[in-house]
Amino acid sequence: MNKFYITTPIYYVNDKPHIGHAYTTIAADVIARWHRLKGEDVFFLTGTDEHGEKVETSAKKAGKLPKEFVDNIVGAYKYIWEKLNIKYDYFIRTSDSSHVKVVSEIIKKIAENGDIYKGYYEGWYCVSDESFWTELQLVDGKCPSCGREVKKVKEETYFFKLSKYQNKLIDFYNKNQKFLSPNFRSKEIINRVNDGLKDVSITRTTVKWAVPFPLDGSHYVYVWVDALCNYISAINWPHGPEFKEYWPADIHLIGKEINWFHSVIWPAMLFSAGIEPPKMVFAHGWWTVDGKKMSKSLDNFVDPILMVDKYSTDAFRYSLIREMPLGDDGDFSEKAIVSRLNNELVAELGNLINRVLTMAERFEGKIEGEAELDQKLNIGKIDSLMEDVDTFNALNEIFVFIKATNKYISEKEPWRLQGRELSNVLYNLLEASRIISILVYPFMPNTGAKIANQLGIEVGTIDDCTFREWTSKVKKGELLFKKFIQ
């Protein structure tokens, strides 16, 4: 059995979950479910990043200890993933003692390789992003990532010799073309690495809500180094059977704003520790809302729970994946959800299944025939797109088959047929519906299961996406989707 290990970033607990978090996690869930349908041994990891200055400060303002503060917020993430029907295999927290132990061991391994030394850091620090910047990187004197104020800091620190791995990183990128994905993002990373790498600070002395630095009791591990280690601590590096089975990760799915950490610093750390890097870091795009960047000042963060309660889990999941290719930026609007719900999910998919089940229930003979609609299905293309992490075009290709099945009804006019001719058409329509239940399941799990249930079957696997003998008895239930009236 092939293994497949996919991860989301671990989400920083200082903010409540919004559309950006939901998008990454839904996309990862879609990919994980697809690979499960292929019969692969899948491990899907998500979780929360709980250390750092922002959390320490926020907890103090709330009058709580940091652990008490993060415990409350973690519940919000688990709740929303349940609402979005996210089927993860493990939820990691960086405050877990098992994770803290792995971080310490990684630091020791890197130090044994001679890649950690003490020095002084002086530069600009963004508390919001927990990130350091040089004078040249600032934009109008502010953080180039989030646009917020930065502060000048100078403190004793320990450095990781990132510069040592410049040539090794370039060689790795050249030999592993899919590591920097999507491909159009690779040039930026490679150019920055070629311009020269500076050693990076990996400890703080002023932030106490952090993993203790194992080489010096007066220092604490910088939150980003701590966070990156979650991908191997979750599978019990170094000796756990899970690590031996699942590592290297097949996909780290992340937002493009954290690409540098994952595509440069993380593999360099792994090189130093003698661990194989992941196979792919896929950096997806950003969402704007009605053409404007999401920000606290505009108060335009989209609450996924409100969207689910208003439009349903599957309609929300579908709309996010259907709106844009995974690597691109996109604009979110409720008008787009309503349009896709009414015109695609209701009029195309829902109407198709309802018509097929209605006709099948009325037919009294044995349903059998020869495959005709199979020529409209390109399962190889869909699978190839999913392997390339192209969920957008894979879903488009699935709807090509759904539209072809609707067109088949219009062309055959089964309401005019009887006997063998009608049986043959119903056979094609029922088999197409069965296959559709499988294909839409990773994107819309509730919908796929509902279709299968009304067909009198279980949701199958990708191997079942071929026309075969029809033996089930249908029982039409409620409509899959209801039109949304504004």
* Separation between Cα atoms, residue 250 and residue 279, nearest integer Å: 5
Q: Per CATH, which fold does 333-464 belong to?
A: Isoleucyl-tRNA Synthetase; Domain 1 (1.10.730)
Residue with the two structure tokens 């609402």? 83
**Residue 112 is encoded by which pair of tokens?**
């044994």
Q: Which of 6-20, 133-147, 190-204, 374-388 has the lowest mean pLDDT?
A: 133-147
350-377: pLDDT as tens digits? 999 999 999 999 999 999 999 999 999 9
* Separation between Cα atoms, residue 9 and residue 25, nearest integer Å: 9
Q: Which of 108-122, 127-141, 295-309, 313-327 has the lowest mean pLDDT?
A: 127-141
271-294: pLDDT as tens digits? 999 999 999 999 999 898 877 777
The full set of domain ranges for the chain reads 3-284, 333-464
The pLDDT of residue 197 is above 70? yes
116-136: pLDDT as tens digits? 999 998 888 887 777 777 777
* Separation between Cα atoms, residue 403 and residue 458, nearest integer Å: 23
What is the pLDDT at residue 298?
67
141-187: pLDDT as tens digits? 888 877 788 888 888 999 999 999 999 999 999 999 999 999 999 99
Mean pLDDT of 189-206: 95
The pLDDT of residue 55 is above 80? yes
Q: Per CATH, which fold does 3-284 belong to?
A: Rossmann fold (3.40.50)
Q: b/e map of 120-155 (b: 16 or more CB within 10 Å)?
A: ebeebbbbbbbbbbeeeeeeeeebebeeeebeeeee
* Separation between Cα atoms, residue 332 and residue 323, nearest integer Å: 8
The pLDDT of residue 486 is above 90? no
**Residue 276 is encoded by which pair of tokens?**
């194989």
Task: Annotate the chain with three-state secondary structure.
Answer: CCEEEEEEEEEECCCCCCHHHHHHHHHHHHHHHHHHHCCCEEEEEEEEECCCHHHHHHHHHCCCCHHHHHHHHHHHHHHHHHHCCCCCCEEEECCCHHHHHHHHHHHHHHHHCCCEEEEEEEEEEECCCCEEECHHHCECCECCCCCCECEEEEEEEEEECHHHHHHHHHHHHHHCCCCEECHHHHHHHHHHHHCCCCCEECEECCCCCCCECCCCCCCEECHHHHHHCHHHHCCCCCCCHHHHHHCCCCEEEEEHHHHHHHHHHHHHHHHHHCCCCCCCEEEECCEEECCEECCCCCCCCCCHHHHHHHHCHHHHHHHHHHHCCCCCCEEECHHHHHHHHHHHHHHHHHHHHHHHHHHHHHCCCCCCCCCCHHHHCCHHHHHHHHHCCCHHHHHHHHHHHHHHHHHHHHHHCHHHCCHHHHHHHHHHHHHHHHHHHHHHCCCCHHHHHHHHHHHCCCCCCHHHCCCCCCCCCCCCCCCCCCCCCC
Q: Do the first three CATH levels of 3-284 and 333-464 match, i.e. the same topology?
A: no
**pLDDT band at residue 297 under the 50/70/90 scheme:** low
- Average pLDDT over the chain reads 94
402-455: pLDDT as tens digits? 999 999 999 999 999 999 999 999 999 999 999 999 999 999 999 999 999 999
Q: Which amino acid is at 178?
A: K
57-88: pLDDT as tens digits? 889 999 999 999 999 899 999 999 999 999 99
Mean pLDDT of 178-205: 95
Q: Strand 90-93's sheet: what is its strand order? A: 90-93, 41-49, 3-12, 251-255, 281-284, 180-181
Whole-number percent of the chain with pLDDT over 90: 84
